[in-house]
């Protein structure tokens, strides 16, 4: 029973999962954020790239526009609340609404704890954790006013299990999980769901600096015996942003290939 309905669906019926939805992607100029912008654009979304890297952000928007995606770039330092408020007002003026906020922006300043500079600890917290708070607080009122919205936060396996040399990063990403679960309880009744994705080791520019022998050890700790691709994370974001995820709230989706804990 029911299988006939699935079989009878037209081919491509689910191909535009974000049709006419406006998505804000912080940190969307490079890496996983940029790949996500491409995939979301292919699914019919309007894309607002919010990033500190103006050159890369403008280039990404041009590429999206060349693919017939309605996109715009907004320069922002997510760690600065006034900066974020101004960006949010510009996005809403441009697009009229925001359906999905993807809090993807993040930095690393790795060092062993005894050698970590206090300013490096604080900067990672300011961007990765306070930045998520700033952006959520700025866009939430418009989502509540329209009675629906999706907020997706980027955590990490460093936040769920810790990682040597990343006390600042792990603390910021663990904090994101705490905020995600709290916000799910606060905002759910207002029609806004809040979830997090915790990526494992993904083949991005950052990984290229890792020595081969270290990379081999990392891969050996992953059940599927390979690094993830940016598209693996983007597709997790896509599910959480879509209508299909309407009953998913307050969850942390670990996309790590089955890291051996």
Per-residue pLDDT of the chain (261 residues; tens, 9 = 90+): 444 444 444 444 447 899 999 999 999 999 999 999 999 999 999 999 999 999 999 999 999 999 999 999 999 999 999 999 999 999 999 999 999 999 999 999 999 999 999 999 999 999 999 999 999 999 999 999 999 999 999 999 999 999 999 999 999 999 999 999 999 999 999 999 999 999 999 999 878 888 899 999 999 999 999 999 999 999 999 999 999 999 999 999 999 999 976
Q: Is residue 169 part of a domain?
A: yes
Residue 6, domain member (yes or no): no
10 occurs within a structural domain? no
Query: What is the C-alpha to C-alpha distance for residues 165 and 169, in angstroms, rounded to an integer?
Result: 9
Q: Which domain does 244 fall in, by range? A: 18-255
Residue 141 is part of a domain; what is its CATH number?
3.40.50.720
SS3 15: coil
- 131: in domain: yes
- Asked if the structure places residue 4 within a domain, the reply is no
Domain count within the chain: 1
> Which pTM does this prediction carry?
0.93
Catalytic member of 169, 183, 187, 201? 169
The confidence score (pLDDT) of residue 261 equals 67
Asked whether the beta carbons of 22 and 95 are under 8 A apart, the reply is yes
Residue 222: count other Cβ atoms within 10 Å of its Cβ: 17
Q: Are 65 and 49 in contact (CB under 8 A)?
A: no
Q: What is the pLDDT of residue 4?
A: 46
159 within a domain of the structure (yes/no): yes
Report the pLDDT value the prediction gives residue 208, as an integer from 0 to 100.
81
Would you call 169 a catalytic residue per the annotation?
Answer: yes
């Amino acid at each position: 029973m029911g299988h006939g309905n699935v079989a009878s669906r037209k081919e491509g019926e689910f191909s535009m999962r974000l049709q006419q939805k406006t998505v804000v992607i912080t940190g969307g100029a490079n890496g996983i954020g940029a790949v996500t912008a491409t995939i979301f654009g292919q699914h019919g979304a309007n894309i607002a790239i919010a990033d500190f890297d103006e050159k890369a952000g403008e280039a990404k928007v041009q590429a999206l526009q060349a693919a017939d995606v309605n996109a715009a770039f907004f320069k922002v330092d997510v760690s600065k609340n006034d900066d974020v408020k101004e960006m949010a007002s510009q996005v809403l003026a441009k697009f009229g609404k925001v359906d999905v906020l993807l809090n993807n922006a993040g930095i690393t300043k790795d060092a062993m704890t005894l050698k970590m500079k206090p300013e490096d600890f604080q900067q990672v917290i300011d961007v990765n954790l306070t930045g998520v708070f700033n952006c959520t607080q700025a866009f939430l009122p418009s989502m509540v006013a329209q009675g629906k919205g999706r907020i997706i936060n980027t955590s990490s396996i460093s936040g769920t299990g810790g990682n040597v040399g990343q006390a600042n990063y792990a603390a910021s990403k663990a904090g994101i999980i705490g905020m995600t679960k709290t916000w799910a309880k606060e905002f759910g009744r207002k029609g806004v769901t809040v979830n997090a994705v915790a990526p494992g080791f993904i083949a991005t520019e950052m990984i290229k600096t890792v020595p081969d022998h270290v990379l081999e050890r990392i891969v050996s700790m992953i059940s599927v015996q390979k690094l993830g691709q940016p598209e693996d994370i983007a597709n997790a974001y896509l599910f959480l942003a879509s209508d299909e995820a309407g009953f998913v709230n307050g969850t942390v989706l670990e996309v790590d290939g089955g890291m051996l804990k």
